[in-house]
Homo-oligomer: A and B are copies of this chain.
């Protein structure tokens, strides 16, 4: 049975700019699979021959640093992954691992490039995505290094609550150690700050389950570093 991108429930802004023929071509050069927590979607150092489109789910972009693994960011569907890898040297410059059950389409690179060349509106949308990535990473870079751990943990909790789950209650998709890798700190410090926040009545923690009790105070901690 042929894949149909045209009727995909999670079609991207970019793909919805494609013509009938173009989207047909996409459909026949695009394979959809489902992945579970821990599955590697893209391996740093490997040769990339596909663009990935995360249709549903949650993933982390991470790279191997000199001393430990560094999580660059959490990626929520829907989004394209690995576009920068496929231009230039075609070696993946980072790994992507699924942290919650996800469905992903792999799009043949040549097809993707063909579509970019054929349809300038499609290309424009992709460019928009790339631009936003850059702006985002500039900001994050500056904020993360100028705040103390309390501020960074507050940021992570707010991000999970607002951007990822849109709810004051959620299950942490990352271990304490991973949260540490995301904000450049140790797992012990993450634990300690969680306890601190709990004692201050800002959050309630039960294993992976987080409940933000005082959003205002959490926001203050985030703002004041």
Q: Does A139 contact B (CB under 8 A)?
A: yes
Collect the chain B residues with CB atoms within 8 Å of residue A88's CB.
Answer: 128, 131-132, 135
Chain A interfacial residues counted at CB < 8 A:
45
Give the contact stretch, choosing among A10-18, A23-31, A142-150, A202-210.
A142-150
- Whether A147 lies near B63 (C-beta < 8 A) is no
Chain A interface helix/strand/loop/mixed: helix
Contact of B145 with A184 in the complex, beta carbons under 8 Å: yes
CA distance A170 to B133 in the complex (A): 34
User: Quick check: A134 and B66 within 8 Å, CB to CB?
Assistant: no
Are B142 and A144 in contact (CB-based, < 8 A)?
A: no
Residues from chain B with Cβ under 8 Å of A113 in the complex = 124
User: Given the complex, which residues of B lie within 8 Å of A137, measured CB to CB?
Assistant: 134, 137-138, 141
Residues of B within 8 A of A141 (CB): 70, 72, 137, 140-141
**A1 within 8 A of partner (CB):** no
Decide yes or no whether A7 CB sits under 8 A from chain B.
Answer: no
A151 CB, nearest partner CB in chain B, Å: 8
Q: Which of A101-109, A115-123, A157-165, A190-198 contacts B (4 or more CB under 8 A)?
A: A115-123
Closest CB of chain B to A221's CB: distance in Å? 12
Q: Is the CB of B68 within 8 A of A127?
A: no
Question: Closest chain B residue to A145 by CB distance?
Answer: B184
Interface flag for A225 (CB, 8 Å): yes
- A172 at interface, CB cutoff 8 A: no
| Contact (A132, B67) CB under 8 Å given A120-B116, A137-B141, A184-B146 | no
